[in-house]
Amino acid sequence: MGEKIKIAISTAIQAGGSLFTPEQLAIISRVAGADAKIEMTTFKQLYVEVPLERRDTIKEKLERYGLEVYPAGFATKSLIACNFCKGAEEAGLVTAQVLNKAIAGIETPTSLKIGYAGCALGTSEPLLKDIGVVKMRDTFDIYVGGEPKGLKTSFARLLISGLTEDRLVPAVTAIIDYYKAHAKGKEKFSKFVDRVSLEQLQHIAG
Helix (H) or strand (E) segment spanning residue 116: strand 114-117
| DSSP, res 79 | P
Residue 168 has pLDDT above 70, yes or no: yes
- Regarding whether 122 and 61 lie in a shared domain, the answer is no
Question: Band of the pLDDT at 1, cuts 50, 70, 90?
Answer: low
- Regarding whether 116 and 171 lie in a shared domain, the answer is yes
Q: Considering the chain, what is the average pLDDT of its residues?
A: 95
Choosing from 71, 99, 115, the residue where a domain stops is 71
Residue 206: its pLDDT value, please?
82
Give the structural domain span for 119. Answer: 80-205
Query: Residue 25's domain is classified under what CATH number?
Result: 3.30.70
Segments in 53-197 forming alpha helices (H): 55-64, 88-91, 93-103, 165-182, 189-196
Alpha carbons 31 and 60: distance in angstroms, whole number: 11
Q: Which residue has the higher pLDDT, 82 or 35?
A: 82
pTM for the model: 0.93
- Regarding whether 61 and 129 lie in a shared domain, the answer is no
- Regarding whether 107 and 56 lie in a shared domain, the answer is no
- Regarding whether 66 and 44 lie in a shared domain, the answer is yes
- Regarding whether 101 and 11 lie in a shared domain, the answer is no
Question: Quick one: three-class SS letters along 7-32?
Answer: EEEEECCCCCCCCCCHHHHHHHHHHH
State the total domains in the chain.
2
- Regarding whether 28 and 56 lie in a shared domain, the answer is yes
With beta carbons less than 8 A apart as the criterion, state whether 201 and 178 touch.
yes
What are 36-89's pLDDT values in tens digits? 889 999 889 999 999 999 999 999 999 999 999 999 999 999 999 999 999 999
What are 191-206's pLDDT values in tens digits? 999 999 999 999 999 8
- Regarding whether 152 and 53 lie in a shared domain, the answer is no
- Regarding whether 50 and 123 lie in a shared domain, the answer is no
Query: Residue 124's domain is classified under what CATH number?
Result: 3.30.413.10
- Regarding whether 193 and 95 lie in a shared domain, the answer is yes
Mean pLDDT of the 100-115 span: 97
Mean pLDDT of the 140-154 span: 90
Residue 91: its pLDDT value, please?
95
Q: What percent of the chain has pLDDT over 70?
A: 100
With beta carbons less than 8 A apart as the criterion, state whether 7 and 58 touch.
yes
Choosing from 23, 41, 71, the residue where a domain stops is 71
Alpha carbons 31 and 18: distance in angstroms, whole number: 20
- Regarding whether 166 and 88 lie in a shared domain, the answer is yes
- Regarding whether 133 and 53 lie in a shared domain, the answer is no
